């Protein structure tokens, strides 16, 4: 069965692709990534588009990028995604892979959004304990670096660190080791299916504060730290 994988460039999407390839049930045809059109960086992760392109080249799969404005309503997001997905469905794609682990509401929302375009969601990491996933990730020789940190959960010192066993040991109580609740995001620079590692230099760690309206209509702010990865080969 032909499928696409929703690709952030981070450890969870990378491990989801690894598991899908091992299972042999699906033939992955495309990587699909959302890009902040104002900055040319991966939404939520802040990784430069050039680095996602480098991952796709090393994997040997085509990359479809969905460019979104800096602030996009849910209606605009869904319309833009539908426009990107329908041509892929027309080529015979029937499934879409996601890297969600525990968030029931998010999985349900994804499945509801896929149905109108004729796609079925696949969740190869679903309900697997975070530490088990990380052990599998390390044993398969993946390498990843933390590129974004939610200041509500972690301080800026965690940003720009390689995600290894020491990183996990240093996490405060209550933080998911995979960052499943949005505590942190990563970029994979080596994988068992890359033809070679991705070279980069860690630049400045930048602080960004965002204002948003929560489900109760209250205006809130959230601070994030982003490590700028500069491609160097």
Tell me the pLDDT tens digit for each residue of 159-177: 999 999 999 999 999 999 9
Task: Give, for 7, the enclosing helix (H) or strand (E).
Answer: none
What is residue 213's predicted lDDT score, i.e. its pLDDT?
65
CB 4 within 8 A of CB 64: yes
Q: Is the pLDDT of residue 229 over 70?
A: yes
Confidence of residue 35 (pLDDT cuts 50, 70, 90): very high
Average pLDDT, rounded, for the chain: 93
Instruction: Report the percentage of the chain scoring pLDDT > 90.
Output: 83
Q: Which of 154, 215, 214, 217 is nearest to 186 (CA)?
A: 154
Q: How far is CA 143 from the centre of its chain?
A: 15
Confidence of residue 76 (pLDDT cuts 50, 70, 90): confident
Three-state SS string over 93-149 comes to CCEEECCCCCCHHHHHHHHHHHHHHCCEEECCCCCCCHHHHHHHHHHCCCEEEEEEE
Other Cβ atoms less than 10 A from the Cβ of 134: the count is 21
What is residue 207's predicted lDDT score, i.e. its pLDDT?
94
Confidence of residue 221 (pLDDT cuts 50, 70, 90): confident
Q: Is the pLDDT of residue 104 over 70?
A: yes
Q: Is the pLDDT of residue 139 over 70?
A: yes
Q: Which two tokens stand for residue 104?
A: 């029931």
Q: What is 2-231's CATH superfamily? A: HUPs (3.40.50.620)
CB 109 within 8 A of CB 132: no
Report the DSSP pairing between strands 27-36 and 41-42.
Answer: antiparallel
Q: Is the pLDDT of residue 39 over 90?
A: no
What is residue 3's predicted lDDT score, i.e. its pLDDT?
96
What is residue 233's predicted lDDT score, i.e. its pLDDT?
67
What is residue 214's predicted lDDT score, i.e. its pLDDT?
62
What does R_g of the chain's alpha carbons equal in angstroms?
Answer: 17
Q: Which residue has the tokens 């680095």?
A: 51
Q: Average of pLDDT values for 143-152?
A: 97
To the nearest 10 degrees (0 to 180), the angle between helices 11-23 and 130-139 is 70
Q: Give tens-digit pLDDT for 47-74.
A: 999 999 999 999 999 999 999 887 777 7
What is residue 142's predicted lDDT score, i.e. its pLDDT?
98
What is residue 215's predicted lDDT score, i.e. its pLDDT?
61
Domain ranges of the chain: 2-231
The answer, as to whether pTM is greater than 0.75, is: yes
């Amino acid at each position: 069965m032909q499928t696409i994988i929703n690709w952030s460039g981070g450890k969870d999407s990378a491990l989801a692709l690894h598991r899908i390839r091992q299972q042999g049930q699906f033939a992955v045809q495309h990587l699909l990534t959302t890009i902040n059109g104002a900055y040319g960086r991966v939404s939520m992760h802040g990784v430069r588009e050039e680095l996602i392109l480098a991952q796709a080249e090393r994997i040997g799969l085509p990359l479809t990028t969905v460019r979104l404005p800096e602030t996009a309503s849910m209606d605009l997001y869904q319309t833009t995604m539908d426009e990107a997905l329908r041509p892929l469905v027309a080529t015979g794609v029937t499934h879409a892979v996601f890297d969600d682990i525990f968030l029931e509401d998010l999985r349900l929302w994804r499945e509801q959004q896929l149905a109108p375009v004729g796609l079925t969601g696949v969740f190869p990491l679903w309900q697997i304990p975070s530490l088990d996933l990380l052990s599998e990730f390390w044993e398969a020789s993946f390498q990843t670096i933390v590129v974004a940190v939610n200041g509500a959960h972690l301080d800026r010192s965690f940003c720009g660190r390689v995600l290894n066993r020491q990183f996990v040991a240093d996490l405060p109580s209550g933080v998911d080791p995979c960052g499943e609740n949005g505590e942190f995001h990563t970029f994979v620079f080596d994988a068992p299916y890359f033809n070679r590692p991705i070279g980069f230099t860690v630049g400045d760690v930048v602080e960004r504060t965002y204002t948003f309206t929560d489900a109760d209509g209250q205006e809130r702010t959230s601070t994030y730290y982003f490590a700028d990865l500069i491609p160097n080969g």
